[in-house]
Chains A and B, each alone.
Chain A
Amino acid sequence: GNSVTQMEGPVTLSEEAFLTINCTYTATGYPSLFWYVQYPGEGLQLLLKATKADDKGSNKGFEATYRKETTSFHLEKGSVQVSDSAVYFCALSDPRRNTDKLIFGTGTRLQVFP
């Protein structure tokens, strides 16, 4: 079945450091891939998405590239800010099934210190 694996957290960084949060997936066919962010006390917000191989999703300085050959969708940001502290979820959906049901990873907590 489809599944998503994320790196364990928390990830602790100093402000302006480079961020990578690893995400790999197992899926039949060609899923759509998503990163969501959850700030304290809020719901999940869509951060970026990619729908086919080699697509790069980007938003707010974050980027992730859909790598079919390595079944990965790693999240990166060149210079993190304290305000980026949140929990990040990788997710996939299988458009062949004509459903928007998502398979989520377990989430990775990012803590950025000044």
Chain B
Amino acid sequence: DAGVIQSPRHEVTEMGQEVTLRCKPISGHNSLFWYRQTMMRGLELLIYFNNNVPIDDSGMPEDRFSAKMPNASFSTLKIQPSEPRDSAVYFCASSAGQGGQPQHFGDGTRLSIL
């Protein structure tokens, strides 16, 4: 079975540019999570969806970040405008959404903002 698929794997762009990260969850999973990982802050939950609806976005750093889930098989995380401090590895994870179930992670997008 295919796991969680993220694209691109690497992204290098200049500050001020718009960045869009993409995620395809595991088929049949109802919950989707976006994380950011840095050396300084560790692993941070940014936002999560249940049945395509955002449930908790309290981890989204600021208005420059936005996330959407237009259908059960696709989600995006957008940063506009990007800043060097946004450089990090961004992970998407999905789960069955039944309570107490494990999350399954993608391989992440390594984002560098110059």
- Our pick among B55, B56, B91, B97 for the contact of A44 (Cβ within 8 Å) is B91
Q: How far is the CA of A49 from the CA of B52 in the complex (A)?
A: 26
Which residues of A lie under 8 Å from residue B102 when comparing CB positions? 34, 46, 49, 100
Which residues of B lie under 8 Å from residue A101 when comparing CB positions? 33, 45, 48, 56
Instruction: State which of A10-18, A67-75, A78-86, A88-96 sits at the interface with chain B.
Output: A88-96
Query: Which residue of B is nearest A44, CB measured?
Result: B105
Is A61 close to B, CB under 8 A?
Answer: no
Question: Is B99 within 8 A of A97, CB to CB?
Answer: yes
Number of chain B interface residues as a range = 20 to 34
Question: Is A99 within 8 A of B105, CB to CB?
Answer: no
Residues in chain A within 8 A of chain B (CB atoms): 31-32, 34, 36, 41-46, 49, 51, 89, 93-102, 104, 106-107
Q: List 18 A-B contacts (CB under 8 A).
A: A36-B105, A41-B107, A43-B106, A44-B91, A44-B103, A49-B102, A93-B100, A93-B101, A95-B99, A99-B50, A99-B97, A99-B99, A100-B95, A100-B96, A100-B101, A100-B103, A101-B45, A101-B48
Q: A32-B100, A94-B99, A100-B98 are in contact. List 17 more A-B contacts (CB 8 A).
A: A34-B102, A36-B105, A42-B107, A43-B105, A43-B106, A44-B43, A44-B105, A46-B103, A51-B100, A93-B101, A96-B99, A97-B99, A99-B55, A99-B97, A100-B31, A100-B100, A101-B45
Residues in chain B within 8 A of chain A (CB atoms): 4, 31, 33, 42-43, 45, 48, 50, 55-56, 91, 93, 95-108
